[in-house]
């Protein structure tokens, strides 16, 4: 499936550079979806971890944690965090395809194609973001079973935000993959990045009453703001949020943090791939 087979080289020779870029992004995006189509059990199996956490921590600790807010139990509190975790894990794991393509030799074809590194990163990141968002949407089906009602307005805000955070994390996955050369190395580095992002983002616990040192780490972690925004969009402002200088962070500020993360990691991924020969 070399890129030249899709006419990218021909478009570039004709001087239609912008069209070639868009076509390259589309091809790389579509290739990620084809991989999922051929491996559908992976999509279902990837939901096992959040569902297991929901059963063990949600239902297991719900009585112990009690009611966190009027009409809100711990299982309901946990659900938006697990939705964010699902998107996080799926988006970062999408970077594994870059390592696999390097081992199979396809990445070399992409690198020598008349396609900018920017288009390559955007194509891979959008492909990974789409897959991650699909997994999040499947998990979202469980919300009514937990007594969580979602309005149409909430969904209209939630879906683009999930796509935004999935894109940012997919770009991070591409960045990590661009600097690793084996599947084993990628998995080791990914675990070093993934575990702190998950356990220090407020997925499993409220963001109030934390020890000072933990509060600082949680605020530095950009995923905290993604999880908080997802929780706010699903549950509403019923749970105290992370505070800056004594005031709660707003949904707009949460979004700006994720946008900044997307810009930084995407730029670094483009720079890193630009150094690949």
pLDDT in tens, 58-82: 777 666 665 666 677 888 888 999 9
The DSSP-derived string for 185-224 is HHHHHHHHHHHHHHHTTTSSS-SSS--HHHHHHHHH-THH
Q: Which residue has the higher pLDDT, 265 or 115?
A: 265
Q: Where is average pLDDT lowest: 35-44, 135-144, 165-174, 249-258?
A: 35-44
Q: List 67's β-bridge partners, or say none.
A: 73
Q: List 72's β-bridge partners, or say none.
A: 69
Contact 92, 86 (CB under 8 A): no
Q: List 34's β-bridge partners, or say none.
A: none
| 112, pLDDT greater than 80 | no
| 21, pLDDT greater than 70 | yes
Mean pLDDT of the chain: 82
What's the rounded Cα separation, in Å, for the pair 13 and 16? 7
Average pLDDT over residues 194-218: 85
pLDDT of residue 11: 45
The distance from CA 45 to its chain's CA centroid, rounded to whole angstroms, is 17
pLDDT of residue 97: 80
Q: List 214's β-bridge partners, or say none.
A: none
pLDDT of residue 150: 84
Q: Among 270, 259, 31, 260, which residue's Cα sits nearest to residue 131?
A: 31
pTM for the full predicted model: 0.85
Provide the 3-class DSSP secondary structure of residue 215: helix
Contact 274, 121 (CB under 8 A): no
Residue 45: is it exposed, middle or buried by C-beta count within 10 angstroms (0-12/13-18/19+)?
Answer: exposed
Q: What is the CA radius of gyration of the chain?
A: 20
Q: Give the model's confidence band at 169: pLDDT under 50 very low, under 70 low, under 90 confident, else very high.
A: very high
| 233, pLDDT greater than 60 | yes
% of the chain beyond a pLDDT of 70: 82
Average pLDDT over residues 231-260: 86
């Amino acid at each position: 499936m070399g890129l030249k087979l899709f006419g990218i080289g021909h478009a570039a020779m004709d001087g239609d550079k912008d069209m070639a870029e868009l076509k390259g992004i589309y091809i790389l995006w579509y290739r990620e979806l084809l991989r999922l189509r051929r491996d559908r059990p992976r999509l279902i199996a990837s939901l096992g971890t959040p569902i297991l956490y929901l059963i063990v921590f949600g239902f297991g600790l719900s009585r112990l944690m009690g009611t966190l807010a009027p009409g809100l139990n711990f299982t309901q509190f946990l659900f938006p965090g697990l939705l964010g975790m699902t998107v996080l894990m799926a988006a970062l794991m999408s970077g594994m395809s870059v390592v696999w393509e390097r081992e199979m030799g396809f990445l070399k074809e992409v690198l020598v194609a008349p396609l900018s590194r920017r288009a390559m990163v955007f194509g891979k990141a959008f492909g990974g973001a789409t897959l991650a968002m699909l997994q999040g949407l499947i998990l979202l089906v469980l919300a009514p079973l937990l007594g969580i009602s979602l309005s149409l307005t909430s969904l209209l805000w939630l879906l683009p935000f999930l796509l935004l955070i999935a894109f940012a994390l997919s770009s991070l996955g591409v960045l990590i993959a661009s600097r690793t050369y084996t599947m084993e190395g990628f998995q080791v580095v990914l675990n070093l990045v993934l575990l702190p992002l998950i356990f220090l983002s407020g997925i499993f616990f409220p963001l109030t009453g934390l020890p000072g040192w933990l509060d600082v780490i949680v605020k530095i972690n950009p995923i905290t703001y993604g999880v908080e925004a997802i929780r706010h969009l699903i549950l509403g402002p019923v749970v105290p949020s992370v505070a800056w200088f004594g005031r709660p962070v707003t949904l707009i500020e949460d979004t700006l943090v994720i946008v900044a993360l997307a810009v930084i990691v995407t730029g670094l991924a483009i720079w890193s791939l630009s150094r690949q020969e």
